[in-house]
Amino acid sequence: MFEQLIEIGLDCFNPFQPEVMDVDEMKRLYGDRLSFWGGVSTQRLLPYGTVQEVRAQVKHLIARVGKDGGYICAPAHSIPGDAKPENIMAMIQTVNDQ
């Protein structure tokens, strides 16, 4: 499917949801032809993770998926009401610190 999307001119994919796809594998397979927007879990990480887990995952995404460009680090979808405020702040601060 992604080959066809790229073929018709798609250059940035969103939603980039870690519960649905392996974000590292997607970068490996398509990262030279497609940019990705999202990747921060709104189903598990932001509502149920710890601040440390959020920081670690955001750093991982920036280092691995963001390597050589083509990545916009952001929540995979709209942030749900049950997301912990401290996790949202940890995500924002970690991105800002890069």
Domains in the chain: boundaries: 19-96
pLDDT of residue 1: 83
Tens of each residue's pLDDT in the chain, 98 residues: 889 999 999 999 998 999 999 999 999 999 999 999 999 999 999 999 999 999 999 999 999 999 999 999 999 999 999 999 999 999 999 999 98
CA dihedral (42, 84, 52, 69) in degrees, to 10, reads 40
Residue 16 pairs in a beta bridge with: 38
Q: Work out the angle between the directed axes of helices 85-96 and 51-60 (0-180°, nearest 10).
A: 30
pLDDT of residue 98: 87
Strand, coil or helix: what is 89? Answer: helix
- Rounded to two decimals, the pTM is 0.91
Contacts of 27 (CB under 8 A, 6+ apart): 36, 64, 65, 67, 70, 71
pLDDT of residue 55: 98
